[in-house]
């Protein structure tokens, strides 16, 4: 279906929704000028593709910029689509000036400056460990999750010119030791993602453990950005707590890959997590990546090439948007992975490494997803992973 027709379909959907609730039709702005970034994770030369949103809400590829490092391709110990076993491999800075990217194959982090959406490489530094897979920012500091061998989080100062300087003695250990097999660790047992709580007091890390229960670790964060030596650890009900995000009320929402579910937690003052909704299953498979915005959360289910939608109430309880657990179906073999909202919450971008595309959805107020189209980015089954969005 052509993007023009799909855009018209969105307008009709707005009219229908507004008529059903006797509300005025809202204005429609398809976010022209916002940008989406996708990482190739190429084993020979890693790169980031830049895509710009067009008038119809879809994406046009305008640039591919080399990171100066290398990725791992499809990996060696697990089949596609998940060579990094992670979320937040690409990160746009909070002020929109910088884009940070991991190079898992060369143990480096790259920094790009952003000028009107386009990228210019400014710095490439050692990640402070092995197999960097996830990034988080707090003020003028960048935190890097290195997931292979003795996993750690390493802290860097972000300079005014975008250059990174590692803080001596800043590494904090996760408590896992997963050796490399070829160029990849067993991603079923590695740490997955970093992200700060909305108040900046805690840096959360999810850790998978295929032989038992996974865990969620929270490092207390001082005013100067330094992390506590040891994290506060909460056991997960699932062996593979994977992607996560915080809702608008500060609740932690976590996808669970083994059980195809999502759970929500309240962050207590001491850093322990109190379950709110435990393992709300969606009936799909390989529920790994999670994106949340406002009162909505979506998971990407790589095993069934579907998305699942959840509504989050003010107390953090999760409820599936549909009885069958399917918010959207993608082509067989698409294997959706990284999933990100635009910052205004109107668009949901989904990587499908099985096809080499990025799929764009418009998010209606009731959580329904309207497909706007897919855009070819990198070759199918080449190992692409990593997604960031800026308005």
Per-residue confidence (pLDDT) for residue 103, from 0 to 100:
98
Domains and CATH numbers, the chain: 31-353+367-390 (2.130.10.10)
**Please, which pLDDT band fits residue 15 given cuts at 50, 70 and 90?**
very low
**Per-residue pLDDT tens for 217-234?**
999 999 999 999 999 999
Average pLDDT of the segment spanning 131-159: 98
The kind and range of the H/E element at 277 are strand 273-281
Average pLDDT of the segment spanning 245-262: 97
Per-residue confidence (pLDDT) for residue 23, from 0 to 100:
39
Per-residue confidence (pLDDT) for residue 75, from 0 to 100:
83
Q: Say yes or no to pLDDT of 19 above 50.
A: no
Query: Which position has the higher pLDDT, 381 or 9?
Result: 381
**What distance in Å separates the CA atoms of residue 315 and residue 115, rounded to the nearest whole number?**
40
- At 248, list the tokens: 């608008």
Per-residue confidence (pLDDT) for residue 4, from 0 to 100:
42
- At 194, list the tokens: 């970093």
Average pLDDT, the chain: 92
Q: Say yes or no to pLDDT of 250 above 60.
A: yes
Per-residue confidence (pLDDT) for residue 25, from 0 to 100:
35
Per-residue confidence (pLDDT) for residue 31, from 0 to 100:
54
Per-residue confidence (pLDDT) for residue 1, from 0 to 100:
40
Q: Say yes or no to pLDDT of 17 above 70.
A: no
Per-residue confidence (pLDDT) for residue 30, from 0 to 100:
53
Q: Say yes or no to pLDDT of 2 above 90.
A: no
**Per-residue pLDDT tens for 328-347?**
999 999 999 999 999 899 99
**Please, which pLDDT band fits residue 369 given cuts at 50, 70 and 90?**
very high
Q: Say yes or no to pLDDT of 67 above 90.
A: yes
Q: Say yes or no to pLDDT of 22 above 50.
A: no
**Per-residue pLDDT tens for 165-194?**
999 999 999 999 999 998 899 999 999 999
**What distance in Å separates the CA atoms of residue 173 and residue 182, rounded to the nearest whole number?**
23
Three-state SS string over the chain comes to CCHHHHHHHHHHHHHHHHHHCCCCCCCCCCCCCCEEEEECCCCCCCEEEEEEECCCCCEEEEEEEECCCCCCCCCCCCCCCCCCCCCCCEEECCCCCEEEEEECCCCEEEEEEEECCEEEEEEEEECCCEEEEEEEEECCEEEEEEEEEEEEEEEEEECCCCCEEECCCCCEEEEEEECEECCEECHHHCEEEEEECCCCCEEEEEECCCCCCCEEEEEEECCCCCECCCCEEEECCCCCEEEEEECCCCCEEEEECCCCEEEEEEECCCCCEEEEEEEEECCCCCEEEEEEECCEEEEEECCCCEEEEEEECCCCCEEECCCCCCCEECCCCCCCCCEEECCCCCEEEEEECCCCEEEEEEECCCCCEEEEEEEECCCCCCCCCCEEEEC
């Amino acid at each position: 279906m052509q993007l023009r027709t799909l855009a018209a379909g969105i307008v009709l959907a707005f009219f229908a929704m507004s008529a059903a609730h006797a509300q005025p039709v809202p204005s429609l702005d398809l976010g022209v000028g916002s940008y989406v970034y996708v990482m190739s994770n190429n084993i020979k030369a890693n790169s980031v593709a830049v895509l710009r949103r067009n008038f119809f809400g879809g994406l046009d590829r305008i640039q591919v910029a080399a990171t100066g490092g290398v990725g791992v391709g499809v990996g060696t110990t697990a089949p596609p689509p998940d060579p990094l076993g992670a979320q937040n491999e690409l990160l746009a800075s909070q002020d929109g000036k910088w884009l940070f990217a991991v190079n898992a194959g060369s143990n480096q982090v790259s920094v790009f400056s952003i000028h009107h959406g386009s990228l210019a490489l400014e710095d490439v530094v050692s990640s402070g460990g092995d197999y960097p897979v996830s990034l988080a920012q707090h003020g003028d500091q960048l935190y890097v999750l290195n997931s292979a061998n003795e996993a750690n989080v390493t802290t860097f100062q972000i300079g005014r010119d975008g250059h990174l300087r590692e803080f001596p003695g800043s590494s904090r250990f996760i408590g896992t030791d997963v050796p490399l097999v070829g160029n990849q660790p067993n991603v079923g047992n590695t740490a997955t993602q970093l992200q700060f709580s909305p108040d900046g007091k805690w840096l959360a890390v999810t850790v998978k453990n295929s032989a038992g229960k996974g865990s969620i670790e929270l490092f207390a964060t001082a005013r100067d950005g330094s992390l506590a030596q040891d994290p506060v650890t909460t056991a997960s009900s699932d062996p593979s707590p994977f992607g996560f995000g915080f809702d608008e009320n500060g609740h932690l929402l976590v996808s669970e890959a083994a059980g195809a579910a999502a759970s929500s937690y309240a962050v207590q003052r001491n850093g322990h997590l109190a379950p709110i909704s435990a393992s709300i299953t969606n009936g799909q498979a390989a529920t790994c990546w999670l994106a949340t915005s406002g009162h909505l959360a979506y998971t990407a289910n790589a095993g069934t090439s579907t998305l699942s939608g959840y509504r989050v109430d003010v107390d953090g309880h999760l409820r599936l948007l549909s009885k069958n657990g399917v918010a959207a179906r993608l082509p067989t073999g698409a294997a959706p992975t990284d999933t990100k909202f635009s910052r205004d919450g109107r668009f949901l971008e989904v990587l499908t490494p099985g096809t080499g595309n990025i799929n764009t959805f418009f998010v209606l107020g009731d959580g329904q997803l309207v497909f706007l189209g897919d855009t070819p980015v990198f070759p199918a089954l080449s190992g692409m992973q990593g997604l960031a969005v800026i308005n």
